[in-house]
Chain A
Amino acid sequence: MSASGSSVRIHGIGRTFRTSTGEHAAVIDLDLDVAAGSFTTILGASGCGKTTTLRMIAGLERPDSGVITLGDRTVFSAESGVDVPPHRRGVGMVFQTFAVWPHLSVLDNVAYPLRTAGQGRRDARVEAASMLEQVGLGGLGRRRTSQLSGGQQQRVAIARALVHRPRVLLLDEPFSSLDGPLRAQLGQELRVLQRELGITIVYVTHDRREALLLSDRVAVLADGRLVQVGGPRELYDRPTNRLVAETLGATNLFEVLGPLSTEAGGIVHVPTRVGRLRAVPAPSGGPGPTGPLLVNVRVEAITLAPTGSGLDPESANVLHGRVVRTVYRGPNSDVDVAVGDGTVRVRTSLQPEPCPGDEVVLTFPVERATVIGGDPAS
């Protein structure tokens, strides 16, 4: 199988729904470039427009404005009136509800796209069987889909979406109705499958762990707008604003109370409620952070130690405080520490975890403290 992915370019896409209560702009002037052969995740809370975006790429939803290009082929352009119907776009799609057809056998579900393309029954079945093999369902072709578990049904859906060798595979929260371990396993299998086939994947989810684990690139959407796009590490470590920081994981956001002063090496000194912090400034270039500035420090970036432990004051931020509250989480604990006029949350695997009232020292490297914007608009 030598299907190779094509790029997906979205430019200026907008979609407004008219409801009984008025108009609702689901997607607003969205630009997104998905590289050929990449695994790109659109991440956002429900109602942020991520599914609508995916459905517009598929052709199931018609944008009000903008251009969509798959590879070198424009499949939608509001201006020139191009609108290639979904069945001619050469994309595959996996739905949240699986949408396997209960009146067809597993094999016939997967063979359907081939039969639709005019392939003979026998050929189609052979090819479908090998596709089933590839998703780990070899030998289950004769089953009725109602005899399959949820995870197996979704494998059928994936096989069906891939069997006609689409250049782009779209997945709309494909694993959200499955339970945790199975979800992780299917995600990894999908990743392997994608590398084998070299196909482009656009994956929609509201689950940040899936996004970080699977993707080459993550696009965070909120209220129909693109907030930030980048590699998982980039987004996790260097979010440009509060929304991305919070969406991707538990974090501390300290309000910046006064002017920043820059020292050698580009490091800035920032006054906050928990004291002066040394932090990395927002990346230069681009529009820069908007809204009130914040210092972002991930809960697990902070090291918690009993007072009196040895420290390196040159390279680290050092805060002294008193434990207010401890929440046991299994592999680790969340500890809230009162520092100055504020509170710092620390995720620590220190055993035994500190008790409320304990005096502790918190340290974290400069590069784990970043200055970001308070508004999502970047």
Chain B
Amino acid sequence: MDHTPRQLFAMIRAGMEKEVLASNAPWYCVSCYFCMARCPQEIHITDIMYTLKRMAIENGHYEDATAPDLSKSFVGQVENYGRSFELGLATRHYLRHMPSKLFKSAQMGMGMLSRERLDLSPNRIEGTKQLQSILQRAKELEGVA
């Protein structure tokens, strides 16, 4: 974690946009909401982290692409199938970002397969077209279509 949340806020107040969006701190957020539950000023810290992630992707400022790419791959899959597809996601992701760990990941995959906990092909919903049209409209409204 490059910066603590408190440091990020101070940097935001100081107008250090580039450094804030380049920080890896929001990408290390696991959304456990401990910070939000405990903040005495009731600041929505986790939600701000999500916003910073979105802004970083929009601006392309992040330095390490591992986390942003994972999110983007996930998004692509969900938009295609309406469901997540772990095998596809993991393969693509490891190939791009952690090729050295691909073998170990494959071992884990075999373990999941043998325990009937992994699908070899993606599941699809019926309303994929409906979902895609909804999401397309939503992106237009967000201004990122």
Q: Are A and B co-members of a single complex?
A: no
* Chain B contacts to A: CB under 8 angstroms: none
